[in-house]
């Protein structure tokens, strides 16, 4: 959050919190006679050198793709040396990553081995295909798309097919973001922030007129939304 806001004072504090964890856990390990902080520093230095033979060794690379493929090859060898239970390309992706980031990491790794779309057009076609499949899944279950305000809302307990198709669509959208060189997580956060700003403006307009926003009919809320959207756009100019 501090990085997104370019708040370097907060960033300094947050980095300090991270560093505290490194020092704290290193001290616990030292007390248990396992390792000390110098071992942590030494290990990361060795890892950086080992994983960047084109920088610290005589490995020849032609482009960034060569570097990424070499990186994955080295990490796979490391997993093998550790007798890892899984040598999967994806086995060491942290499962606790935000879902959009997690999906992008999976796609990145698959792409490094040449499993990727040749063009953005192919990704867009895939998105359109997934939208049709999602609509078909909803139609087959006689579900309505009118879910606003709880009307005809799809029960969460019996929509496995819809859930799967929606997941496929989200995965494809992340792929489009990746091909456009955009961070899907950041894009969504920006949109969330934009929505909050506009919604706050709507409520403010209603309050100034002495109107209970919640009681307004939807068409009047839509009108306030358009006003808020135009006003927030003007403020950016």
Q: What is the pLDDT of residue 215?
A: 94
Query: What token pair was written down for 75?
Result: 């990490």
Cβ-contact 141, 162 below 8 angstroms: yes
The whole-number pLDDT of residue 149 equals 47
Give the start-to-end residue ranges of the domains of the chain: 1-51, 62-92, 95-182, 188-236
- Spatial CA neighbour of 2 closest among 18, 21, 22: 18
Report whether 159 contacts 194 (CB < 8 A): no
CATH number attached to the domain at 95-182: 1.10.287.1080
What is the pLDDT tens value at each position of the chain, 237 positions in all? 788 788 999 999 999 999 999 999 999 999 999 999 999 999 999 989 988 888 888 888 888 878 877 877 887 787 777 765 566 788 878 889 999 999 999 999 899 888 999 999 999 999 999 999 999 998 887 645 455 445 555 555 457 889 999 999 999 999 999 999 999 999 999 999 999 999 999 999 999 999 999 999 999 999 999 999 998 888 775
Task: Specify the pLDDT at position 51.
Answer: 87
Name 166's Cβ contacts closer than 8 Å, sequence gap at least 6.
Answer: 134
Q: Which CATH superfamily is domain 1-51 in?
A: MazG-like (1.10.287.1080)
Q: How high is the pLDDT of residue 155?
A: 55
At 153 the pLDDT is 57
Say if residues 227 and 233 touch (Cβ distance below 8 Å). Answer: no
pLDDT score of 61: 84
pLDDT for 97: 94
d(CA 66, CA 143): 48
Angle between helices 37-51 and 64-81 (to 10 degrees): 130
Ramachandran angles phi, psi of 24, nearest 5°: -60, -50
Q: Please give the pLDDT value at position 148.
A: 45
| Beta carbons of 29 and 43 less than 8 angstroms apart | no
The answer to whether 97 and 104 have CB atoms below 8 angstroms apart is no
The packing angle between helices 120-140 and 160-179, to 10°, is 170
Residue 157 DSSP one-character state: G
- Whether 1-51 shares its CATH topology with 95-182 is answered yes
Inter-CA distances, 23 with 4, 33, 34, 103, Å: 26, 15, 14, 32
């Amino acid at each position: 959050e501090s990085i997104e806001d370019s708040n370097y004072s907060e960033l300094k504090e947050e980095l300090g919190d991270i560093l505290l964890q490194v020092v704290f856990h290193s001290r616990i390990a030292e007390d248990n006679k396992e390792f000390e902080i110098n071992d942590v520093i030494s290990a990361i230095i060795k890892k950086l050198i080992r994983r960047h033979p084109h920088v610290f060794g005589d490995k020849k690379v032609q482009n960034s793709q060569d570097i990424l493929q070499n990186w994955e090859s080295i990490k796979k060898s490391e997993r093998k040396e550790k007798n890892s239970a899984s040598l999967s390309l994806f086995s060491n992706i942290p499962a606790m990553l935000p879902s959009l980031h997690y999906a992008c990491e999976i796609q990145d790794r698959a792409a490094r081995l040449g499993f990727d779309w040749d063009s953005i057009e192919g990704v867009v076609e895939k998105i359109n295909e997934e939208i049709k499949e999602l609509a078909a899944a909803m139609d087959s279950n006689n579900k309505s798309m009118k879910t606003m305000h709880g009307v005809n809302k799809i029960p969460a307990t019996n929509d496995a097919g819809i859930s799967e198709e929606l997941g496929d669509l989200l995965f494809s959208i992340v792929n489009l973001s990746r091909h456009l060189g955009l961070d899907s997580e950041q894009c969504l956060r920006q949109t969330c922030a934009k929505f909050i700003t506009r919604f706050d403006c709507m409520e403010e307009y209603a309050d100034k007129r002495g109107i209970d926003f919640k009681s307004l009919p939807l068409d009047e809320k839509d009108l306030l939304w358009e006003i808020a959207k135009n006003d927030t756009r003007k403020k950016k100019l």
